[in-house]
Structure 1
Amino acid sequence: MADDQVLTDMLTMLDRSPGVLALRVCVIELLIERQRFADALAHCGTALGHDPGNAQVLGLMMRCTTALSGGSPAPAPDATPAPGSTAAASAAQPDFDWAAAEDEVGDIIEPAFVHGVPSEFVTDEDAATVERPSLRLADVGGMSEVKQQLDLTLLGPLRNPELAKAFGTSARGGLLLYGPPGCGKTFIASAVAGELGANFYPIEITDILDIYTGASERNVHSIFEMARRNAPCVLFLDEVDALGHKRSQMQASTTMRTVVNQLLTEMDSATHSNEGVFVLGATNHPWDVDVALRRPGRFDRMIFVGLPDLAARTSILHYHLRDRPVAGIDLNALAAHTDGLSGADLAHVCTSATQLAMADSMRSGEVRPVGMADIQAALAQIRPSTGAWFESARNVVEFANGDGSYDDLALYLKRLKRR
């Protein structure tokens, strides 16, 4: 009875905080212990809606589906495989030729410029925030134009310092990735760090802003100091438009104006040595970024990251379906019919299709893998999430591109026939 009360209390807490994944995982494990597999499976679907690639939840889902199909649920593993690991990928069903799909997506090519980062670069204080990504640009499906721009503006000068010096160019300053939401800017930034063999330090606006006077500015300084301490390091600033908004539009917010001033100071090579620190930013609205942040030595270069192309969509769909029970999935056909969807939209499609298959399995009492019909039903319910962004982008190109900053965006919109 006491154990039942624990489960009841946890379910009550989950009703109040449905987004707490760790709490939901505990509930799933308790339900499996009580052999309430259908209830546990429903919670698995909800958990995967919050975190589609969570290996622990996927493992619990497989135990539930195995038990519902009449088999004995597999024992809980001693260690949860990391997403993308060989152990996690082994959950894929044999009736789908994932090896062939991997060949179509493309082999991973070892980059020419990769070097190890000694462990002494990362202190105990920094270990929880500074990462060492294993991603490479070869892991990013498609997006060939973005990769070429990265090679030209950042990777090329770093690989060939003498040649860059001869031509009077360098990789100093910052690089701003911009484009519609949900198209992989953070993923690309992590891959750049992996390509350089550098540490990766991702920062969001919530890591900086503080309610106390002066604390936000101190946070900005501390973040840059940590990046310098762990050089070589890619310092990734997400939502730069929110952090470095135009000061001319913030007369009423003294705090945010001083935060922008501090950010300018930290990025200025005249006041700080940022040797070995490569600052990458991401924004959906570069036209809202303060003009001083776009001057030479700061975010003086921009790369447009558009909607995923055919190869990228194939890779994204493969990634989000790889650990789920599937049958009869034609990745190429799916990728061809999902033009206009962002990476986040594609992840939503895969999650929704999985939930449809799980719901059908619970009704019949037999496990049915995700099929093309589920994907098509999910696609019929989901609309592109980037429509409003493209409307704003079109207005910027038409009325605020006098200096040519958004010529690449203009060409992209013209190619998509949105102008």
Structure 2
Amino acid sequence: MSDSPLIDSLAAAVEARPDDLPLRLHLAELLVAAGRGPEAIGHAAQVLAREPGNAAAQRLMGAALNPAAPPAPAAPPAPAAPSTHEDGVDWAAMEEELGDIVPPRFARSDEAVEPVRGHEDRTFDIETSTITLADVGGMEEVKKRLEISFLGPLRNPKLRSLFGKSLRGGLLLYGPPGCGKTFLARAVAGEMGASFISLSITDVLNMWVGSSERNLHDLFDSARGHAPCVLFLDEIDALGHKRSQLNSSSMRTVVNQLLTELDGVDGNNDGVFVLAATNAPWDIDSALRRPGRLDRTVLVLPPDKPARAAILQYHLRDRPVANIDLSRVADATDHYSGADLAHVCETAAEFAMRDSIATGDIRMINQQDMMAAVREIRPSTDGWFATARNVALFANESGEYDDLAAYLKKRKIR
């Protein structure tokens, strides 16, 4: 017996008619209002077991589980008592009885906790590129190679069928950093009207054993499901480093998984165009460059003079400029990468802004600012060409760096 005859009467009625849900809900409302939330939970749970969508039962369950919430309006107000262990409530017994309906309040420390895998059910970002090769300044040799390898066969299916040309393929873009390899990959996707997926090492590597390999498999599966698709593997030297130089067995298995996916052993890679980019092709495992994988190589060099002028104009388009001779600035920035040229424009803007603050007179960015920025910023490609020169001279027995050697000879880089 309790101190509420009405609750006692309703409890007896519910016991006699357990399937009378409105009666049970009314009892639960009175129990919540009386501060007897743990008892109300059982009645609300019984209703939800029969009618999972019952809004009144859901509301009562929330109020019973959260004693701080205002009581249900249907019952007369009564002083609320805290629902703690002092009330004599056996929470363990209630969790045991209602475990299939009400989740436990706390996780048990003796149960194994599954580690968070990070990329378990991930979906990769599938992009649609809006740029095309017409937006890429210069790089005529690169465009010609892409036309032969990918774009021509795609546009001519009958000719492709006649010559037995597969729509699968891999192309390795290499060269100094900041010269537009990623931009070029997006332009290829836009030119083909294909989906575009960009992947970096952080998208793959995971501390849990086997997760990195599964991430790679999921990535290629995503690309196959959205064919035609350009799959861009950035910094491929980090993912596909020479296995003979790897101390970690887990990284060697990642390289093996990448080889398997490129071969399409577990899936058809038709319509998946793999473009990979690296600043250090000499660090890539030779198996990745075997025929049928990343077997075609294209050197992406710093922009030539017309391309440099176009890049400078692009980065100055939204800035206040006056009387800038783009041709002279382009002449002075030989060997500068696209990223270097963007930095030149940023630095020139800083010079003009600093002068405007010092004098109190706002002025435009002028030729003097641009040339001062060129004198301050040195091309970032110099270090890369120093390393590349040694490779072209002393490690080119296979002839894979002939185009690099020819460029170095033409530019008299010793």
Structure 1 residues 312, 397: CA separation in 2 closer, same or farther (over 3 Å shift)? same
Candidates 283, 291, 300, aligned match of 2:295: 300
* Amino acid corresponding to residue 324 of structure 2 in structure 1: I
Q: In 2, are the aligned partners of 1:269 and 1:297 still within 8 Å (CA)? A: no
Candidates 337, 345, 352, aligned match of 2:340: 345
Which structure has more relative contact order (CA 8 Å, sep 6+)? It is 1
Partner of 2:384: 389
Q: CA deviation at 1:160?
A: 2.2
Q: In 2, are the aligned partners of 1:224 and 1:266 still within 8 Å (CA)? A: yes
Q: CA deviation at 1:166?
A: 3.7
Q: Is 1:198 matched up with 2:177?
A: no
* Amino acid corresponding to residue 144 of structure 1 in structure 2: E
- SS of residue matched to 1:297: coil
Candidates 131, 146, 164, aligned match of 1:135: 131
Partner of 1:147: 143
Partner of 1:101: none
**What is the 5 A alignment of 1:202-241?**
202-241=198-237
Q: Percent identity?
A: 61
Tell me, which stretches of 5 or more residues in structure 1 are unaligned? 1-123
**What is the 5 A alignment of 1:103-142?**
126=123, 129-142=125-138
* Amino acid corresponding to residue 282 of structure 2 in structure 1: W
Give distance in 2, aligned partners of 1:404 and 1:318.
Answer: 37
Q: CA deviation at 1:171?
A: 4.2
Partner of 1:18: none
Give distance in 2, aligned partners of 1:163 and 1:310.
Answer: 37
Q: Is 1:163 matched up with 2:134?
A: no
Partner of 1:37: none
Q: Is 1:356 matched up with 2:354?
A: no
Q: In 1, are the aligned partners of 2:167 and 2:271 still within 8 Å (CA)? A: no
Q: Is 1:405 matched up with 2:403?
A: no
* Amino acid corresponding to residue 355 of structure 2 in structure 1: D
- SS of residue matched to 1:299: coil
**What is the 5 A alignment of 1:5-404?**
126=123, 129-250=125-246, 252-404=247-399
Q: CA deviation at 1:168?
A: 4.8
Partner of 2:409: 414
- SS of residue matched to 2:127: coil
Q: In 2, are the aligned partners of 1:153 and 1:171 still within 8 Å (CA)? A: no
TM-score, normalised with respect to structure 1: 0.68
TM-score, normalised with respect to structure 2: 0.68
Structure 1 residues 324, 338: CA separation in 2 closer, same or farther (over 3 Å shift)? same
Runs of 4+ in 1 over 4 A off after TM superposition: none
Give CA deviations for 1:295-351 in whole Å, capped at 9, x if unaligned.
Answer: 111101111101101121111111111111111112222112211111111111011
Give CA deviations for 1:150-188 in whole Å, capped at 9, x if unaligned.
Answer: 112221222223334444544422111011111000000
Q: In 1, are the aligned partners of 2:228 and 2:271 still within 8 Å (CA)? A: yes
* Amino acid corresponding to residue 136 of structure 1 in structure 2: T
Give distance in 2, aligned partners of 1:271 and 1:288.
Answer: 27
Who wins on radius of gyration, i.e. which is larger?
Answer: 2
Q: CA deviation at 1:364?
A: 2.0
- SS of residue matched to 2:298: strand
Give distance in 1, aligned partners of 2:141 and 2:272.
Answer: 24
Q: In 1, are the aligned partners of 2:179 and 2:337 still within 8 Å (CA)? A: yes
Aligned length: 294
Q: In 2, are the aligned partners of 1:318 and 1:331 still within 8 Å (CA)? A: yes
- SS of residue matched to 2:264: coil
* Amino acid corresponding to residue 410 of structure 1 in structure 2: A
- SS of residue matched to 2:196: strand
Give distance in 1, aligned partners of 2:374 and 2:126.
Answer: 37
Give distance in 1, aligned partners of 2:268 and 2:249.
Answer: 27
Q: In 1, are the aligned partners of 2:173 and 2:297 still within 8 Å (CA)? A: yes
Q: CA deviation at 1:243?
A: 0.8
Give distance in 2, aligned partners of 1:402 and 1:163.
Answer: 36
